[in-house]
Amino acid sequence: MNVTATPAPKSAIKLEIELPPERLNRAVDDAVRRLSRRTKVPGFRPGKAPRAVLERTLGPGAILDEAVEHLVQDAYRAALIEKEILPIANADVDVVQAEEGKPVIFTATVPVRPEVQLGDYRNFNFRPEIETIDDARVDKVVEELRDQNGTLAPVEDRGARNGDYAVIAFEGTRDGNPFEGGRSERMPLILGEERLIPGFEGHLEGLRVGESTEFDITFPDDYAEESLRGQPVHFRAEIKELREKVLPDADDAFAQSMGDFADMAEMRAEIRPRLERNALDRARHQFADKIIDYAVANATIELPDVLIDQEVEVLHDELRSSLASQGISQEAYLKVLEKSEADLHADLRPRADERVRTLLVLSKIAEAEGIAVPDEDVEAEVARGRERYAGDRKLLAYFDSERGRNFIRSTLRRTQVVERLVDDWLAAHPEHAPLPHVESGPTSAAESAAVAAGAIEAEAELAEAAESPEPSQSSHAGDADATPPVTEPTATGSAG
């Protein structure tokens, strides 16, 4: 067997493989035996029908096609081992020549783990930006607390105005006829939030409970229901209920109701340091994000489509999970957006590309910085995950698996990369205010592993692809602990 390997676009290797004619002869003999055993031919016992009889039963090209398929698969596996290639997905195979008496020639384009060429990731010219916490910022928190603790009181001495909580009844007609979705007996809404058609709520201002009004309005051109876009309609609306939010006074009694505070001054004194700690936390996160963006922008990496496709599925699964938690079906979601699943995947693709690049670049930086995660750190994270998800058998099994531990290790490793870059910059700039580590950070790896073990296991596969060892250890991105299977080629040519 003669094998040549050359680089191909999008992180792939093109194998050109040539087999001598006698390999095809043996493959044909093997194909005859296989097909004879599993084909019922009148007058012959299983395994005894000769080639000519089989071809009359199965068709003239059936035996050669069977022989070429098995020969190509066997040769492809052998070529991967010979060239020490680690495929991350099925190869694209094109059979160039497959005629008896001639050499078999085929090509296989094999997607492989991308090579990441790091650029600069340390000499950036930006700095952490820390929000200033002043009295106005504290005032805003006090107002938010008052709003959260407000009560709704009936409005009896005035008409409706923006900010009121109303329950309305309405009925709409188009050309004098009711239309679907144009009627409700009790519709709750907060006036001024424009939950209904733009301009609708303005007609309710000034109405008291029990009063009604009639008006004409035109649906917007981009309205979700196509049949109503740009259409003029007539509505009759009535205020059924009207309430307003009454906020507690910002006094000492309110402060005392919010916790162990003697007065408002003491509560404000407690709020300010909390805001300052949160500001430092946000500054560290935002600074870390900018460092990551800087490193990714300066790196050179050519991504294979298969990794982006996998991450699109990850994002899609995340969306499904999010919608399900809100009681929304994917079908309803796509209908509102007026998009197909293919449209959704196209929308998700740029984000998927960005996430894959970030994952691979951070893994490469970890390698360059010599960052390794000790086993005890992984076990500690596993213990935290087992405690948090004690009732989930599937997750507990995932945490105990080598694959789950590999995912946690790679997640911790990437986190340590970012923390080191931030800490190194702070050490080189002692004049800058300290940015302490976030206390909740260590649990993130277990949480990420839990997600990976659930609806989006492709995330774990991608992470392990980024961290995977040399080809001698594994040939599948998601099973670093398994005996290396060989990815099957996907033929695009014919045996003729």
Quote the CA–CA distance of 288 and 278 in Å, as a whole number. Answer: 15
Residue 471 pLDDT > 60, yes or no? no
HEC string of 133-172 equals: CCHHHHHHHHHHHHHHCCEEEECCCCCCCCCCEEEEEEEE
Q: What is the pLDDT of residue 484?
A: 31
Q: Over the stretch 169-226, which tens digit does the pLDDT of each residue have?
A: 999 999 999 998 899 999 999 999 988 899 999 999 999 999 999 999 999 998 878 8
Q: In what order do the strands lie in the sheet with 489-491?
A: 2-8, 12-19, 104-111, 91-97, 489-491
Q: What is the pLDDT of residue 448?
A: 57
Pairwise pLDDT comparison (450 vs 476), residue with the higher score = 450
Q: How far apart are the first and last CA of the chain?
A: 20
- Cα dist. 60→278, 328, 343 in Å? 75, 54, 44
Residue 488 pLDDT > 50, yes or no? no
181 membership: H or E segment, kind and range: strand 177-190
Residue 334 pLDDT > 60, yes or no? yes
Residue 491 pLDDT > 80, yes or no? no
Contacts of 480 (CB under 8 A, 6+ apart): 402, 403, 406, 464, 467, 468, 469, 473, 474
Q: Residue 64: which of 105, 107, 96, 35 has the closest Cα?
A: 35
Q: Over the stretch 382-397, which tens digit does the pLDDT of each residue have?
A: 888 888 888 888 888 8
What's the predicted TM-score (pTM) here?
0.71
Residue 449 pLDDT > 70, yes or no? no
Residue 34 pLDDT > 60, yes or no? yes
Quote the CA–CA distance of 196 and 321 in Å, as a whole number. Answer: 28
- In this prediction, residue 447 has a pLDDT band, given cuts at 50, 70 and 90, of low
> What's phi and psi for 287, nearest 5 deg?
-65, -45
> What's phi and psi for 232, nearest 5 deg?
-80, 135
Q: What is the pLDDT of residue 28?
A: 86
> In 3-state terms, what secondary structure has residue 382?
helix
How far from chain centre, in Å, is Cα 259?
A: 40
Q: Are 349 and 308 in contact (CB under 8 A)?
A: yes
Residue 326 pLDDT > 60, yes or no? yes
Q: What is the pLDDT of residue 474?
A: 30
Residue 290 pLDDT > 90, yes or no? yes
Percent of the chain with pLDDT over 90: 60
> The tokens of 184 are what?
């409700």
Q: What is the mean pLDDT of residues 309-328?
A: 90
Q: What is the mean pLDDT of residues 37-53?
A: 76
Q: Mean pLDDT over all residues of the chain?
A: 85
489 membership: H or E segment, kind and range: strand 489-491
Residue 495 pLDDT > 50, yes or no? no
Q: Are 263 and 252 in contact (CB under 8 A)?
A: yes
Q: Over the stretch 407-427, which tens digit does the pLDDT of each residue have?
A: 888 889 989 999 999 999 999
Residue 461 pLDDT > 60, yes or no? no
Q: What is the pLDDT of residue 286?
A: 95
- In this prediction, residue 441 has a pLDDT band, given cuts at 50, 70 and 90, of very low
- In this prediction, residue 489 has a pLDDT band, given cuts at 50, 70 and 90, of low
> What's phi and psi for 153, nearest 5 deg?
-120, 145
